[in-house]
Structure 1
């Protein structure tokens, strides 16, 4: 289903000199009874930007998208699209289209008729409709399927038709609410690339809602990671992956091994029950509860042997309890103790010849360690915590 515009609203005193396609959320709040879904959130989405709203269920990302689309109205704050406040403006009068996970194509209409529907509602001349529908179908490589019914299409083809229907009016902003969720993995990855290429070609602002970090990392110019109705971090993919601003972001983006314990050594280490984990950060305070994080790809693993580790290297010893072939990488699951295990991931050609049951030693550099204050809520609910057995 798509939501289309028919005409731009008249200017109001709150209009600003902002580019076509710019979206500004200015302190928006949305409540449902006593629950606050979006909490005084501010965000500027630049014209032509591909931005993803990423987070777990209930974080407020879909509610935010629905307020931009006009399906929900904020209880406080302002929303501007292309410099115009759209508070109170219905969806069909905003220069915004929306693509949902359920494509909601009309089953009795052909592909071309589905794409043309919005233009017909706007009373576009028939000659212009034919031309614009053909152009939209060309954009998504579906012109040869114009006469087919949706039931004769695959899931990926149906998604392309939904995109063509959303793009046929050339909106300033395209909103996508988990549109790839119904596709299998291979097709989803193909469509991620196609979506990004399409957005780059058209220069339209894309606002993409997902709980899939892989989608957000692979496509976005920037990612807004949401937590409890607020933005926890807003940055490009490299930054949120390599330099997360909090334990919550570190846990949600990618995979982490977390060690929890007491901060020591002048704020640059966490003394956990299974390892003293040293990092390079120095703004924690000795004695406070903290947690250290290291990504699996930064962990080296080898058979345990007598000898002292190199100075400055973090070390943890344990038993190899799991071995998984992931294609280009091998994943090792190591039990460190009754309540903690660790994941190491190495390129397949460089992987050591280990077997389940082997005694192993894992090591990683201080530079690969992230140190955070304790935040149990960030790791609750199955975001990404160290596996336990």
Structure 2
């Protein structure tokens, strides 16, 4: 990971004043921020208010503008329009080292010829902090990330997770009001990444520092964030807490990107409470369809029940229950859940997940009946961008 202090050597001055007028330290406000690369619009009139001490994630696919937004807050990119305030002060004309923020990137970029303690102390030395204070602050920073006993080691003697902790300590030793994290867990294996998610959240809770976390990994965002900003084409599609984003997504794009969904696309019924697709009439109880002739009905795999089909023939949906018949074409053991893949027809399949202890014993080739309640269905206007997100039932061969 690279920290902002490594990007350029600052003069012996303090960061931009931290009093921020009437705004509390650590508050971040983006107002109408736009960024162009040539004729390519990377960030489009984006406005966002981040509360002091908040853990907020910018989540989205590659090219959605999340990293560009982070780099503008850090000062590595300059917006073409709009304003950015940190702790109540505009920082448009402030270089990175004057912004009272530090940035942690995916690449560790620790100095290989320096010890762990020397790496952490580097930014303080550049600010000409007294040596006695440097010693105390380095010790405190290493204690925060539980790496004090490794202070005399070189980076090459550390694991990837340990190097990440050192990069965090180097960022935190300057006591920034805002910590910016750009895909910091991307280089770690899955188990270590999940451990570091917990550690990062605990660390942020202890310090009370504002964390702005950029990721394309929905699991990271859901597990750590106070709020999540789902980004699409340089704009925020939805800004809400994890429960709201998962259970009440604002669009088909968000529904597809966060978690997994089965989508049925077809004509919207007259009542607007169902979508009539080729393979099922899918009813919902909370439609968000607005003047749409074509719609998408979405249901998460964990809300679908599956059983061996007691009889052949077509299935019809009652007012509060949806049903579809098909052939089981795949079974996968995912540990605490069993995953089933069902062919509904030539052009669509359905994914089902059941808790392992309650999962039915089924064999590939079995005829199956899948059912799900109407109140678990989300209804959206048809949106091709939903295909950019999470699981969309693929066509079968």
Q: 1:192-271 maps to which residues of 2 (within 5 A)?
A: 192-271=197-276
In structure 1, C-alpha distance between the alignment counterparts of 2:18 and 2:311, rounded to whole Å:
76
Q: Secondary structure at the match of 1:170?
A: coil
In structure 1, C-alpha distance between the alignment counterparts of 2:291 and 2:233, rounded to whole Å:
29
Alignment equivalent of 2:365, drawn from 357, 360, 365: 357
Q: Secondary structure at the match of 1:74?
A: coil
**Quick one: structure 1 residues 352 and 10, their matched pair in 2 at CA, closer, same or farther if it must change by over 3 Å?**
closer
Alignment equivalent of 2:157, drawn from 140, 152, 157: 152
How far off is 1:16 after superposition? 5.3
Q: Secondary structure at the match of 1:266?
A: coil
1:2 equivalent to 2:3? Answer: yes
Q: Secondary structure at the match of 1:87?
A: coil
TM-score (normalised: structure 2): 0.94
Is the deviation greater in 370-379 or in 353-362? 370-379
Q: CA RMSD in A?
A: 1.7
8 Å CA contact 2:286–2:375 kept in 1: the answer is no
Instruction: Give 2:325's aligned residue.
Output: 317
Q: 1:1-389 maps to which residues of 2 (within 5 A)?
A: 1-4=2-5, 6-9=13-16, 17-282=22-287, 284=289, 288-306=293-311, 311-312=318-319, 313-379=321-387, 381=388, 383-389=390-396
8 Å CA contact 2:281–2:316 kept in 1: the answer is no
How far off is 1:311 after superposition? 3.2
In structure 2, C-alpha distance between the alignment counterparts of 1:10 and 1:48, rounded to whole Å:
18
In structure 2, C-alpha distance between the alignment counterparts of 1:148 and 1:228, rounded to whole Å:
44
**Quick one: structure 1 residues 19 and 291, their matched pair in 2 at CA, closer, same or farther if it must change by over 3 Å?**
same
Q: Secondary structure at the match of 1:356?
A: coil
How far off is 1:88 after superposition? 1.4
In structure 1, C-alpha distance between the alignment counterparts of 2:296 and 2:18, rounded to whole Å:
51
8 Å CA contact 1:264–1:270 kept in 2: the answer is yes
How far off is 1:174 after superposition? 0.2
In structure 2, C-alpha distance between the alignment counterparts of 1:111 and 1:77, rounded to whole Å:
40
8 Å CA contact 2:32–2:83 kept in 1: the answer is yes
8 Å CA contact 1:265–1:286 kept in 2: the answer is no
TM-score (normalised: structure 1): 0.96
8 Å CA contact 1:266–1:282 kept in 2: the answer is no
8 Å CA contact 2:256–2:389 kept in 1: the answer is no
How far off is 1:287 after superposition? 6.8
In structure 2, C-alpha distance between the alignment counterparts of 1:260 and 1:275, rounded to whole Å:
10
In structure 2, C-alpha distance between the alignment counterparts of 1:286 and 1:317, rounded to whole Å:
30
8 Å CA contact 2:298–2:379 kept in 1: the answer is yes
Please list every run of 5 or more consecutive structure 1 residues that lacks an aligned counterpart in the other structure: none
How far off is 1:285 after superposition? 6.0
**Quick one: structure 1 residues 110 and 327, their matched pair in 2 at CA, closer, same or farther if it must change by over 3 Å?**
same
Please list every run of 5 or more consecutive structure 2 residues that lacks an aligned counterpart in the other structure: none
How far off is 1:186 after superposition? 0.2
Q: Give structure 1 regions of 4+ aligned residues with deviation exceeding 6 angstroms.
A: 307-310
Count of paired positions? 386
